[in-house]
Amino acid sequence: MRPLIFYISFCILFISKCSAVGTVPDQVHLSFTGDMTEMAVVWNTFADASQDVSYGKKGSGASSIAKGSSEAWVYGGITRYRHKATMTGLDYSSEYEYTIASRTFSFKTLSNNPQTYKVCVFGDLGYWHGNSTESIIKHGLAGDFDFIVHLGDIAYDLHTNNGEVGDSYLNVFEPLISKMPYMVIAGNHEDDYQNFTNYQKRFAVPDNGHNDNQFYSFDLGPVHWVGVSTENYGYYYTYGMDPVMTQYDWLKRDLTVNIMSL
């Protein structure tokens, strides 16, 4: 009976979320910026809107404003508006609330230079056959891990049905990924025949790569996290060798700097 209950609730969520229109914040999710006193938030609307983020420590009554940027992008004849804002000046080990338009969410920051933390790492998770989706959301909301790393093949596929499957997938996960960072890297299923546009427009990562989010790094406690795209090698015949060499040069510099700092 439990799978049936989840299936029914899943379908209700699909119907209600896919009908989102206008300026209502949709598909809200967090990500690290590389500075652990910051948190980036990305969301989507289906009409142009200038939206900022109000945030503050839970219960403090004080609030700050993170200015949101907006960018229109089109896929499959559907115009979406990507919004991003960065909440800065965050204290460690603190719970925050943030509001976009009429919707309010919360998250908790990690401790300063944490020596231990818990990460949920997975890949190849689809919308229609997300067999582990219920478990990931349940355990994440229960506090069993601190952030997520999704190693490609997201939604199967982000661009399917003119991007509507990507919309639905992110909305199913929104209760969790609006509360903790959702770090991603592209897989072959993110190739939407427009040079990974759906992937690049939907997600934010630390801005230390090369004008996109195909590769990046960040430090957290004793670990230097590096995300690279092996798809650059598989798609060189379509998109050329420049992405391959650009990522290679960046990776050499990134690892050299971090080895020298040890």
Per-domain residue ranges of the chain:
26-255
Percentage of the chain modeled with pLDDT above 70: 91
232 pLDDT band, cuts 50/70/90, is confident
Centroid of chain to Cα 178: 9
Task: Give the Cα separation of 44 and 67 in Å (integer).
Answer: 15
Report yes or no: 171 and 13 within 8 Å, Cβ to Cβ.
yes
* 26-255 CATH fold: Immunoglobulin-like (2.60.40)
Q: Is the pLDDT of residue 7 over 60?
A: no
In tens, the pLDDT along 48-88 reads: 998 999 999 999 988 999 999 999 999 999 999 999 999 99
| Residue 129, pLDDT score | 86
**What is residue 257's three-state secondary structure?**
helix
- Which one, of 233, 134, 141, 145, lies nearest residue 191 by Cα? 233
Task: Give the Cα separation of 174 and 168 in Å (integer).
Answer: 10
Peptide bond preceding 157 in cis form (omega within 30 of 0):
yes
| Residue 8, pLDDT score | 33
Least confident of 4-8, 29-33, 53-57: 4-8
- Judge if pTM exceeds 0.85: yes
Q: Please name the residue that has the structure tokens 């067999």.
A: 131
Give me 23's structure tokens.
């300026």
Share the mean pLDDT of the chain: 89
Mean per-residue pLDDT, 203-231: 90
CA distances to 45, 125, 163, 197, 248 from 73, rounded to whole Å, are 11, 24, 11, 9, 29
- Which one, of 229, 226, 209, lies nearest residue 218 by Cα? 226
Task: Give the Cα separation of 41 and 37 in Å (integer).
Answer: 14
Burial of 242: CB neighbours in 10 Å, binned 0-12, 13-18, 19+: exposed
235 pLDDT band, cuts 50/70/90, is confident
Q: Which residue has the higher pLDDT, 192 or 10?
A: 192
Mean per-residue pLDDT, 119-129: 95
Least confident of 100-114, 195-209, 222-236: 222-236
| Residue 20, pLDDT score | 54
Q: Is the pLDDT of residue 205 over 70?
A: yes
CA distances to 225, 233, 236 from 242, rounded to whole Å, are 24, 10, 8
Report yes or no: 134 and 163 within 8 Å, Cβ to Cβ.
no
Burial of 50: CB neighbours in 10 Å, binned 0-12, 13-18, 19+: exposed
- Which one, of 18, 73, 72, lies nearest residue 48 by Cα? 72
Q: Is the pLDDT of residue 45 over 60?
A: yes
12 pLDDT band, cuts 50/70/90, is very low
Between vectors from CA 163 to CA 2 and to CA 208, what angle results, nearest 5°?
100
Least confident of 18-27, 160-169, 213-222: 18-27
Least confident of 4-8, 40-44, 96-100, 172-176: 4-8
46 pLDDT band, cuts 50/70/90, is very high
